[in-house]
A and B are shown apart, each in its own frame.
Chain A
Amino acid sequence: MQHRVSSYLVGETDTGVLGRAIALAARHLTVLLLAYGLVVAAIGAVQLDRTINGAADGLNSERQGGMFASMDVVDAHGPPLTGLDSAGNSSSFYPVALDDDRGTFIYIPLLAHYAGTHDLNVLLKWFFICFFVPLLLVYPLLIYGVTDSVVAAGAAPWILLSNSSFFRTSGIFWIPAWANLLLLPLLLLIAKRWRPNLLWALVALAVLGSFASSMRANAALGFVGGAILLVLLRLPRWSLRLAGVALIALAYLSISSFAIHAVQVQRDAVVGHDFTSPYPNGHPFWHNGYIGLGYLRNPYGFRPTDAGALAAAHRQDPGARFPTKRYERALRTVYLDTLEKQPWFVVHGWIVKAGVMLGLVAHWYPFAVLLVPLLLLFGAERRQRRFQFSLVVFAGLVGAATGVFTLPTEIPEIQSGWYGFGLFLWILSIGWAARPAEHWAVAYLRRRGANRQERLRQLPPSWAPALTRVWWQVRRGVVGTRAGLRLVSTRAATRAVESARGLRKLRTLSRLALAAAVVAGVFLANSSGRVTDASAAYWANEANLVDAASIQGTLVSRWQLDQGVPQGWHEFARAVERREGELLVRTRPSKYGLQLSSPPRVLEPGHYVVAVDGSVGAGGLQVAAADAPLDATVAYAFYSAHAPFADSRRMALSFDLAKPTRVSILLSNFSVLAHSSTWTLRSVVLRREPGGCQLNLPSAYYTPTTAVAE
């Protein structure tokens, strides 16, 4: 507000074009920002419509299947959250989204029903656009209201638009980011203009947050944390504070818990079966927690896969069925037992994952990481900034906790809330940094205007000859420029001297050290986090080595690699070298790049095992069987340098063929960070096992779509 008043004063003192323009803009700033938002929103809508292709790609096939099933039932005037299983003449309802947040499985089929389409890509694209474009519309106003910075207000919607590419095709996983981006500035605006009556606005926003949380668990929990803190700090009496907290909490539960539960109970009444009480109200919590235990390589058998969690629950309680409450209880017991028996393993995992999450912010918003600590520790308005930060930090904690508890993988499904928090903090930090500069610019323009008026009074009267007037204009320009430059240099010198004096103070130095430590810590977390995440990705994907003696069956092909690349094989590696009876391969630096491929061979239907004798020195290796004419993968397995290689162990792959198929064996690079890998290879053997799979290996079953001829 003070900023706007100053801007009006610029117009009063500086009657030039710039001064009058600033004064005019300041007078109609609300309308201008709204019009600006409207233009950006229109451009954003067109751009999003053009660029979003495959909006449903972020949803796995189970989620898509559940939505399609529910769409069919809703179109047939059936109840929500239900699919129809037709077998012969009988049909029965079954519940959908038992292991997911139910909201989208209610809203999207409704939208499909009224829009008259089942095209999930179109529905999810417009669902996103309808939520995101209003954000672009109001953001200039909101950000100006929060930061008083015209620069931040102008930049904010473009920053939003450009950074939305992370989550815009994620299906529904953009919701936590959207909730943070909308609710956090509104919370700060309410905090800035606080009156006790604004408690009701917080309650209304908590209902909106509850709507978001009905689609993605805890999407607006961070906002609720900030709102509760604001109520506790600002309401005058404890009775009022407690009442306010209770109201916000109830409002936050209203849709995500109560209404969604009511819909399920009503659905049960319609279909005549209890599909609600055996299952949790949202997606499984301890299942994801168990998966999170397997993030780091460990000797306890935890693997970051659904199959690992299912097996653990079965071991704990053989009757526990995914995703029932009983299943959740079994995994909760496993998790808490592990925490009790191996506390350092669990806590170490949390710390490492927290580091990876912190590093991601440096990867996404490096300038925000530089700016925020400095702005929180320095400047005349640092206390106000700290207060604002304390209100929004809950959203960051909730977003980060998701990755710390589960996996810190850089996908919107996990990172949406954290990414949205970081994005808002980046925009907020621009406002924090720009506001003092804008104040200084306005003050400068005021002084310049005052000086200009003073000089105008010194000008010769209007009856002076034209030449004299031109001379005076030029002189005024030169004098004005020199005065301006002198003013700027004097101010800069004064600031520098003041800063140098200030630097001597221990307090300033310690603040500077703290800011530097925070920034360095976050950037270090980024670099080490990427390595950790790559190591975790190997651990998550790699197969077990197989004892060579256990691989039986009829020999189909044997390729010796110790004498060099066999005849008929294709080589794409960066370097291949024979050394001491082994073939040393240095791959090309790519994530998955083919390095060596065998000649294709027609295999009869049956069960096959590929055994690779060798080891991975650095990086990883993918061994795959491919249907050569179709260029389709029959089966694949990953191995990394972390595997316990030995002469008696083999990298193995097994697959079943339903029809005669022309198969090639492929050895490809597997490097999460797209680096070069090194392998040592001795032989590749292909065997057919007549009695089916004898090894403890997952076997892919492949049916080619075309017939082959030798």
Chain B
Amino acid sequence: MTVRRRASEVAASVAALAVALVALLALGWSGSPVRLHAPGAALWAGIAAVVAVVELQRARGDSGRSFLASAALCLALVALVEAAIVFVSFAPCGSTCI
């Protein structure tokens, strides 16, 4: 039971990390098989950030799970910055462009 719960907890961190990575790469990587527009990337990065923050609250400070959650949060924030650059670039163009 404990082992299963621990595995699911780590899985949440890994999932957050994976979602953040997809949000980061799918926005601008030229070879991306799952291309997202900036709003989609921002949405997925936001979800990854929330999951990562919850995980950070629940994990012990120096554990591997905490590191994974921190990495997920970090990638999610980087993806959000990336999406923000795209949003700002098209701000004068308006909502029809984005």
Chain A interface residues toward B at CB < 8 A: 74-75, 77-80, 106, 110, 113, 200, 203, 207, 240, 243, 247, 250-251, 254-255, 257-263, 265-266, 270, 276-277, 281
**Chain B window 78-98, contacts with chain A (Cβ cutoff 8 Å), 1 for yes, 0 for no:** 110111011011111110011
Is B92 touching A258 in the complex (CB atoms < 8 A)?
no
29 A-B pairs whose Cβ atoms sit less than 8 Å apart in the complex: A77-B94, A79-B90, A79-B93, A203-B74, A203-B78, A243-B67, A247-B71, A247-B74, A247-B75, A250-B24, A254-B24, A254-B78, A254-B82, A255-B81, A255-B82, A255-B85, A258-B27, A258-B82, A259-B27, A259-B28, A259-B81, A259-B82, A259-B83, A260-B85, A262-B27, A263-B86, A265-B28, A265-B35, A266-B38
A80 touches B89 (CB 8 A): yes
A110 & B92 in contact (Cβ 8 Å cutoff): yes
Q: Of B29, B88, B89, B93, which is within 8 A of A258 by CB?
A: B29
Assuming the contacts A74-B92, A79-B90, A200-B74, asked whether A262 and B38 have C-beta atoms less than 8 A apart, the reply is: yes
B37 within 8 A of partner (CB) = yes
**Separation of A74 and B29 alpha carbons in the complex (Å):** 25
Known: A243-B67, A259-B85, A277-B30. A266 touches B90 (CB 8 A): yes
B49: interface (CB < 8 Å): no
In the assembled complex, the Cα of A270 lies from the Cα of B79 at a distance in Å of: 22
Beyond known contacts A247-B75, A266-B37: 20 more, CB 8 A cutoff = A80-B90, A113-B92, A203-B78, A207-B78, A243-B71, A250-B24, A250-B78, A251-B74, A254-B24, A254-B82, A258-B27, A259-B81, A259-B86, A261-B30, A262-B27, A262-B41, A263-B86, A266-B38, A270-B93, A277-B30
List chain B residues, Cβ under 8 A from A75. 92
User: A281 contacts which chain B residues (CB < 8 A)?
Assistant: 30
Residues of B within 8 A of A80 (CB): 89-90, 93
Q: Which residues of A have CB within 8 Å of B81?
A: 207, 254-255, 259
Chain B 22-62, CB within 8 Å of chain A: the 1/0 string? 00110111100001011001000000000000000000000
State how many angstroms separate the Cβ of B59 from the closest Cβ of chain A.
14
Contact of B91 among A110, A240, A255, A257 (CB under 8 A): A110
Residues on the A chain within 8 Å of B24, using CB: 250, 254, 258
Report the interface size for chain B: residues with CB under 8 A from the other chain: 32
Report the bound CA distance from A110 to B70 in whole Å: 33
Interchain nearest-CB distance for B56 vs A (Å): 12
Set of chain B residues within 8 Å of A106, measured between Cβ atoms: 89
- Chain B nearest CB from A229 CB (Å) reads 20
Contact B75 A261 (CB under 8 A): no
Q: How far is the CA of A308 from the CA of B56 in the complex (A)?
A: 58
Q: A265–B41 Cα gap in the complex (Å)?
A: 14
* Residue in A110, A251, A258 whose CB lies within 8 Å of B28: A258
Known: A258-B82, A259-B86. A270 touches B29 (CB 8 A): no
| B54 CB, nearest partner CB in chain A, Å | 18
Q: Given A80-B90, A106-B89, A270-B97, A262–B28 Cβ distance below 8 Å?
A: yes
**Among A251, A258, A276, which residue has its beta carbon within 8 angstroms of that of B25?**
A258
Q: Does B67 contact A240, Cβ atoms closer than 8 Å?
A: yes
In whole angstroms, how far apart are the Cα atoms of A281 and B31 in the complex?
Answer: 13
CB distance from A81 to the nearest CB of B (A): 8
Contacts of B37 in A (CB 8 A): 266
**Are B29 and A266 neighbours in the complex by a CB distance under 8 Å?**
no
The 8 A-B pairs with the shortest beta carbon distances in the complex, nearest first, are: A258-B28, A262-B28, A259-B85, A261-B28, A259-B82, A262-B27, A80-B89, A254-B78
Q: A79-B97, A240-B67, A270-B97 are in contact. Are A250 and B75 (CB under 8 A)?
A: yes
Contact A266 B78 (CB under 8 A): no
Query: A residues within 8 A CB of B21?
Result: 250
Residues of A within 8 A of B75 (CB): 247, 250
B27: which A residues are within 8 A, CB to CB? 258-259, 262
B28 touches A77 (CB 8 A): no
Kindly provide the distance from the CB of B76 to the nearest chain A CB, expressed in whole angstroms.
12
Q: Which residues of A contact B91 (CB under 8 A)?
A: 110
**B35 proximity list for chain A (CB < 8 A):** 265
Return chain B residues, CB-CB under 8 Å to A247.
71, 74-75
**Contacts A247-B75, A261-B30: A266 and B86 contacting too (C-beta < 8 A)?**
yes
Contact B78 A251 (CB under 8 A): yes
Query: What is the bound-complex CA distance between A75 and B94, given in angstroms?
Result: 11
Please, which residue of chain B has its CB at the minimum distance from the CB of A206? Answer: B78
Contact of A200 among B28, B70, B83, B89 (CB under 8 A): B70
Closest to A82 in B: B93
Q: Which B-chain residue is minimally distant from A263 (CB atoms)?
A: B89
**Distance of A257 Cα from B21 Cα, bound (Å):** 15
Report the Cα distance A261→B32, complex, angstroms.
11
CA distance A266 to B83 in the complex (A): 12
Measured in the bound complex, the distance between the Cα atoms of B90 and A254 in whole Å is: 18
| B82: A residues at CB distance < 8 A | 254-255, 258-259, 262
Docked-complex contact A110 and B88, CB < 8 angstroms: yes
B92 and A266 form a contact (CB under 8 A): no
With a cutoff of 8 Å between Cβ atoms, the chain A residues found around residue B90 in the complex are 79-80, 263, 266
Q: How far is the CA of A607 from the CA of B15 in the complex (A)?
A: 74
A523 to B38, CA, bound (A): 52
Q: Are A260 and B71 in contact (CB under 8 A)?
A: no
Q: Give the one of B21, B30, B35 with max A CB within 10 A.
A: B30
Contact B93 A78 (CB under 8 A): yes
Residues of chain B within 8 A (CB-CB) of A74 are: 92-93
Q: Closest B-chain residue to A102, C-beta based?
A: B89
B93 with A77: CB separation less than 8 A: yes
* CA A259 to CA B79, docked complex, whole Å: 9
Which of A200, A251, A261, A262 has the most B CB atoms < 10 Å from its CB? Answer: A262
Bound Cα distance from A513 to B24, whole angstroms: 52
B-side contacts of A261, CB under 8 Å: 28-30
Specify the chain B residue showing the minimal Cβ separation from A258. Answer: B28
- Rounded to whole Å, the gap between the CB of B91 and the closest CB of chain A is 7
Closest chain A residue to B96 by CB distance? A270
CA distance A251 to B20 in the complex (A): 12
CA distance A254 to B27 in the complex (A): 10
Does A266 contact B30, Cβ atoms closer than 8 Å? no
Q: How many angstroms from the CA of A251 to the CA of B86 in the assembled complex?
A: 16
A115 to chain B, nearest CB (A): 12
Q: Whole-angstrom distance between the alpha carbons of A258 and B35 in the complex?
A: 11
Q: Which B residues touch A207, using CB under 8 A?
A: 78, 81
Q: Is the CB of B28 within 8 A of A260?
A: yes
**Complex alpha-carbon distance, A254 and B29, angstroms:** 9
For B78, list chain A residues within 8 Å (CB).
Answer: 203, 207, 250-251, 254
Q: With a 10 A CB-CB cut-off, give which of B24, B70, B93, B98 has the most chain A CB atoms.
A: B93
Residues of A near B93 (CB, < 8 A) are 74, 77-80, 270
For the complex, give the distance between the alpha carbons of A484 and B24 in Å.
Answer: 65
Q: Give every chain A residue within 8 A of B71 (Cβ-Cβ).
A: 243, 247
